[in-house]
Chain A
Amino acid sequence: MFFKLVEKNSRRMRKDNGLLFLSLIISIVAFYVILSLENQGIVQFLKTVENDAVQKLLRMIPMLYVFTLIILFFLLYFTGKYQLEKRSHEFGMYFMMGLKRSTLFQMLIAEEGFHSLVSLGIGIPVAVFLTEVISLVTVKMVGIGLVNYHCSFSVYAVFGTIIGYVLVRFAALLILCLFWIRKEPLELLRESQEKKRHNQNEVLGAIQLFLGVILLVIAFYFGISGIAWVSVKDMAETLFFGSVGIFCLFHGMGIFFELLLKLNPKRNGYGIFNFRQLQESVLLKSNSLAVSSMLVLAALCCFGYGVSVSVGSELSNSHVMDYTFREWDEENLSERGVNIKKELEELGLRNFVEDIFEVKVGIIWEEEEESQTISVKGLTDAIKKSAGIENSGITMEQAIASAKDSKTKDILRQAKYIEQKMEYPHVISLSGYNHLRSLAGKEELELGEGKAALYSDPELVFSGLDEIIKEALQQGATITIGNDTYELAEEYCVSDIVVDRFITISYAFILEDSVFEKLVGENYDSYWNMRLKDSFVEEEGMMQSIAWFNDVLKGSDLEYESYMQRIGRQLFYQVAASYTTIYLAVIFLLIANTVIGVQFLMGQQKKKKNYQTLIFLGGYEKELCKSARSQIGWYFGLPVAVAALSSIFGLYTLFAGLSYSSIRGRTNELVLIGAAVICLLLVVEFIYILIVMKISDKQIHKLMGLQREDN
């Protein structure tokens, strides 16, 4: 009998709260996907090239999981509370009939267990299947090849998901039970009656609304101006202002409805009823609406940031070389590269090489002789002028002090950095650099005796300064080495000189080979870039051919880096950004929407008397459904609108503080991608709203069919 009742109650709960049940299954799927990350093909591949970074990411996953479990707890606690409130009369009756508190507790635990079992029974198989599909698709997309592909099933993920999910469910239930089961039967029987509306103090409400807007504006300003990223304290302040602002906004929102009612003299239709219902819901549930709004905001930011970083990284990707070798043989300076070629020959790899060439990089050391004294004043003056500082006679410190805005200040600080850095500048030989350009399909750079070109590693280009430098170069800038003045080429050179990260130079000058030799002599570093034969790459596939080449090179003493490392890093960024942010976004969005949806639907069930009164007064089904739909639109619309507006600022903030080299300086472009993703999410939101509307229609239809009992 006991188990029959448990099973029946559990089935009824699933039927009444289909939305919540579905959301829990999706959460289980998301938990499994993130916990089984280590077993997925793409991560297995990344482990071979970026093991340290992957290990760091994998160490982060459990923390991420625990964090999302806490968020899930929030959902289970709130929905559990509504469910218990709804069933409070039933519990009161059980007590009246002599049921012991401990038996009721056991019954609730058994119901929860049964419920968990059903959701896990559906969720885990779906998750395993979906993870396998994701793993296969990503592996195929990246082109790693399926030769070494392993099934991504993870026992650890299955147990992790089950333990976490069950733990959180029972924790939420236990906390609720502690409070609920102590109640007296009379209290429980009364509990089922409608909660009284809270009267809002109008002055307090207006202050809260005003304060909320002000605090949000401050938080937005801190975010987009970059102040939030200056220190932990500033970030904490920004988050504090933002969160308190959203709470104040929702607490004061009741006044907004009051104002709407006063401003709208139209008294016909369901308008007043709708606004009063909404006002009550928002007043009674302002905290959970504020939390939901913040969760939607977090979801939108995560999605917007994650997707645009992934897409953005891909945009910046260019492939010119496959390998760079480095040789440190100080004894035989003139025979650099010979060893590399010999070794490749011995390993039988020479036939796979299309091209191998040297790029020379040296440093001009300032010596006592005047001939080596370097001045970049011509360049920095041009930068100052381009940044809007007309008086070139002032020092860089004075220029920084006189700059009007913080962006110009930052740019000038970088210019000062160039000044300091250029005391001993790096120089690159033109021939090697031009070889790279011709491989990339670019025109060769022509310098000549009295000319040089400014070079920066693409990963170290400082946002905003590059435009100023380009402008300065176009207007004409010079450098002086000893007594010779070199005119800088109009083009700002920002192509990689090695395949990955053997050397990254913030600023250097490209010089004609003869000038390079004169200034550096034999003291330069030699980097040998290599490109594989196209026919070999086409036949084997890019990743497979490099992987095979790497295998052979493992047996040699050659020091090298490959395109695989570069693509590996890029992929790692994409995987880390997309998996973690999309996972978080799914969980946030799911939980926020379920809280809002379930809260509305349960509120509607609790307030069914109001709808019944309307039916008695002649309200008919179509109009009642329309009225409830309008309420749902507003109820979802308010937190989502606040979140959507805040997310634009949130995205700017994230790009201002969390952008790495390849996406730096492209904030506007990435924010646009992010905004497009947010719009897409809003479509998902719209679908969710439609589902809730459908359920509400059903509830009203059921109410229409209810008949009053004869008394």
Chain B
Amino acid sequence: MEKILEVQGLEKFYGKKENITRAIDGVTFQVLNGEFIGIMGSSGSGKTTLLNCIATITRPTAGRILLKGEDLSTYKGKKLAEYRGSRIGYLFQNFELIENMTVKENILLPLAIHNQVNQESKKQIVKLAQYLEIADLMEKFPEELSGGQKQRVSAARAMVSKPEILLADEPTGALDSKNAKALMKKLQEINEKEKSTILMVTHDANAASYCSRILFIQDGAIFHELRRKHKDESKQEFYERIIGVMATLGGGSENVL
């Protein structure tokens, strides 16, 4: 299978000399096309920093990130903006919808700011809305929606530009268990049916059990990797293995620590 994303020797340090914090300390991994990969770790482990480096929101101290073989550090100005707007999709923990825009306007926003709204994209929105069960909400404003609906709108926005990879930062973090489950099912379906590549950061073992592979990160470095054994391994079995790893390695949640 084709490699879509390569992270090579990534480092991100904050501070200087004695006060240096190594948020990411030499992370290397690859993501294959169509993979649903999860990154798990406790608070402060560096998982969001890693996601932000991939999203080009923050610049790494050292190392390279390649998307389809292209080094992201070479992207500047318009090309960088285009990468953020079209080649990746970003799903936020707190939805980050613009409160004074309707659902439809919010979903169209990434296309609008890159002047890509056309008849085809309008069709794409209708399809996405129906798929994510938000078709009836298109003229509503975010304040009129529930948390689950907001996150599905946010997902539609992240996918409207048909990104090469979808980055999700704790997407279930602000949802109750019912809505979290519904969202994860949708993401899994998208991954399986559309062959979309998803990279998700989470510390929720339940959400992580929908992934095909999980990287465990601690103190800025990968210390373990877990793969779904075979296609038919149930979600429950995989979940138990995740919990097992977390318990064995003595972390994964603040409560355990």
Contacts and interface: CB of A to CB of B under 8 A. Distances in A.
B96 A197 contact: no
Given A269-B113, A617-B109, A710 B49 contact: yes
A610 interface: yes
A707 B58 CA distance: 6
Contact of A268 (B46, B97, B115): B115
A281 to B, nearest CB: 9
A199 interface: yes
A114 to B, nearest CB: 33
B57 A707 contact: yes
A69 B249 CA distance: 69
B96 A616 contact: yes
Interface in B49-84: 49, 52, 55, 57-58, 77-78, 80-84
Interface string A246-267: 0000000000000000000001
Interface stretch (A17-25, A50-58, A270-278, A549-557): A270-278
Interface string A586-622: 0000000000000000000000011011111111100
Contact of B100 (A277, A708, A711): A277
Given A196-B99, A276-B98, A710-B49, A616 B44 contact: no
A354 interface: no
Interface string B164-196: 000000100000000000000000000000000
B148 interface: no
A537 B99 CA distance: 75
Given A197-B99, A197-B141, A710-B46, A276 B105 contact: yes
Interface string A672-711: 0000000000000000000000000000000000011011
A194 interface: yes
B120 to A, nearest CB: 13
A330 interface: no
Interface string B90-117: 1010001111110001001111111111
Given A616-B84, A620-B77, A620-B80, A194 B99 contact: yes
A617 to B, nearest CB: 5
Nearest to A709: B48
A197 B86 contact: no
A618 B113 contact: yes
Contacts of B141: 197, 199
A131 interface: no
B90 to A, nearest CB: 5
Given A276-B101, A623-B113, A711-B48, A616 B77 contact: no
A609 B96 CA distance: 8
Contacts of B114: 618
Contact of B101 (A268, A273, A609): A273
A279 interface: yes
A267 B108 contact: yes
A634 to B, nearest CB: 15
Contacts of A273: 98, 101, 109, 112-113
B100 A279 contact: yes
Contacts of A276: 98, 100-101, 105
B178 to A, nearest CB: 24
A618 B83 CA distance: 7
B236 interface: no
Contacts of A617: 84-85, 90, 109-110, 113, 157
B57 A613 contact: no
B115 A269 contact: yes
A364 to B, nearest CB: 80
A314 interface: no
A467 interface: no
A615 B56 CA distance: 11
B48 A616 contact: no
A280 interface: yes
Contact of B57 (A272, A616, A620, A711): A616
Interface string A508-528: 000000000000000000000
Contacts of B30: none
Contact of B112 (A270, A615, A616): A270
Contact of A267 (B23, B81, B117, B157): B117
A277 B101 CA distance: 8
Interface in B19-66: 23, 43-44, 46, 48-49, 52, 55, 57-58
A615 B109 CA distance: 11
A: interface residue count bin: 20 to 34
Contacts of B52: 707-708, 710
A618 B110 contact: yes
A267 B112 contact: yes
A221 B98 CA distance: 43
Nearest to A614: B113
A197 B99 CA distance: 7
Interface string A197-218: 1010000000000000000000
Residue of B85, B97, B99 with most partner-chain A CB within 10 A: B99
B112 A269 contact: yes
B14 to A, nearest CB: 9
Nearest to B141: A197
A618 B85 contact: yes
Nearest to B173: A711
A280 B100 contact: yes
A619 B81 contact: yes
Contact of A616 (B49, B90, B115): B90
Interface in A602-648: 609-610, 612-620, 623
Residue of A612, A614, A619, A620 with most partner-chain B CB within 10 A: A620
A711 B41 CA distance: 11
B144 to A, nearest CB: 9
Contacts of B237: none
A613 B96 contact: yes
Given A269-B115, A707-B58, A711-B43, A196 B143 contact: yes
B47 to A, nearest CB: 8
A610 to B, nearest CB: 5
A270 B112 CA distance: 7
A614 B48 CA distance: 19
Contacts of A271: 112
B199 to A, nearest CB: 15
A685 B124 CA distance: 45
A83 B108 CA distance: 34
B55 A613 contact: no
Nearest to B76: A620
A615 B90 CA distance: 11
Contacts of B44: 710
B98 A708 contact: no
Interface string A169-194: 00000000000000000000000001
A553 B80 CA distance: 87
Contact of B81 (A268, A269, A620, A710): A620
- Closest 4 pairs between A and B when the two form their complex, measured CB to CB: A618-B85, A618-B84, A620-B81, A267-B117
27 contacts: A196-B143, A197-B141, A199-B141, A267-B112, A268-B111, A269-B112, A270-B112, A272-B101, A273-B109, A273-B113, A276-B105, A277-B100, A610-B99, A613-B96, A616-B55, A616-B92, A616-B96, A617-B90, A617-B110, A618-B83, A618-B86, A620-B78, A623-B81, A710-B44, A710-B46, A710-B49, A711-B170
Given A616-B96, A617-B157, 8 more contacts: A268-B117, A276-B105, A610-B99, A612-B96, A617-B109, A618-B86, A618-B110, A623-B81
